[in-house]
Structure 1
Amino acid sequence: MEKRRVLFICSRNRLRSPTAEAIFSNHPEVEVDSAGLSKDAEVPLSREQLEWADLILVMEKIHRSRLNRNFGKYLRGKKIAVLNIPDQYDFMEPALIDLLEKRCANHF
């Protein structure tokens, strides 16, 4: 069975999306990647990442809006979901891990 390709997106790819990528990197049903929408992101979002992804999980509604505005032509046929996780956690913070596990449970 082919693994589902999941892309996690936040603003700067420093805290939330890299945490998500780290905790789901060994999940048996998915391949994961992460990126940020800001120009100063650790890993700025690329067209190649969007083309690779089957599912795009953004942390906040504003991320979905910016994604649609800046990358709309690459999103045709892509499933995008908002996890509603605010930017108030540190990298690998236990509360963030718990929230990510709960919010992602319905997606894979």
Structure 2
Amino acid sequence: MKDSAPVKILFVCSKNQWRSPTGEAIFRNVEGISTRSAGTSRNAKHPINIKDIRWADLILAMEQKHLSRIKADFRDETRYKQVHTLNIPDEYQFMNPDLIQLLETKTAAILNELKL
């Protein structure tokens, strides 16, 4: 992975306030990974847009409702994308240690499964 382009991961939650920014922050300095975060809500700090979708190699949604919204709003753009749900409920604040552990464990499992 060192000689190849980084894997671009987009973390998505509702308001881009706690969960997805935590994912972006903890993987930001990991070698071989580039990160962004966005929210599905129109009131999100950074509402997800087509540029985010096109940029990402891997889209990790916190809940099934986020995945459904992404696929509904960006059907054509996500057709050939790796899109997964992490199943992390909205009960953690930014950089909560339990949230960090969940994100690291679940993201690593997906990256290993995809051999990224």
Q: Same fold (TM over 0.5)?
A: yes
Q: Among 96, 99, 109, which residue is 1:96 paired with?
A: 99
Alignment of 1:1-108 (within 5 A): 1-108=4-111
Identity, % of aligned positions: 45
Could you give the per-residue CA deviations for residues 53-97 of structure 1, whole angstroms, max 9, x where no partner exists?
000000001111111111112112101011000000010111100
TM-score with structure 1 setting the length? 0.97
Residue 35 of structure 2: SS of its match in structure 1?
A: strand
* Distance in 2 of aligned mates of 1:18 and 1:4: 17
**Equivalents in 1 of 2:58, 2:20: separation in Å?**
14
CA deviations 1:25-79 (Å, max 9, x no partner) are 0010210000000000000001001001000000001111111111112112101
Distance in 2, Cα, partners of 1:46 & 1:68: 12
Would you identify which runs of 4 or more consecutive aligned residues in structure 1 move more than 4 Å? none
Which residue identity is paired with 2:44?
A
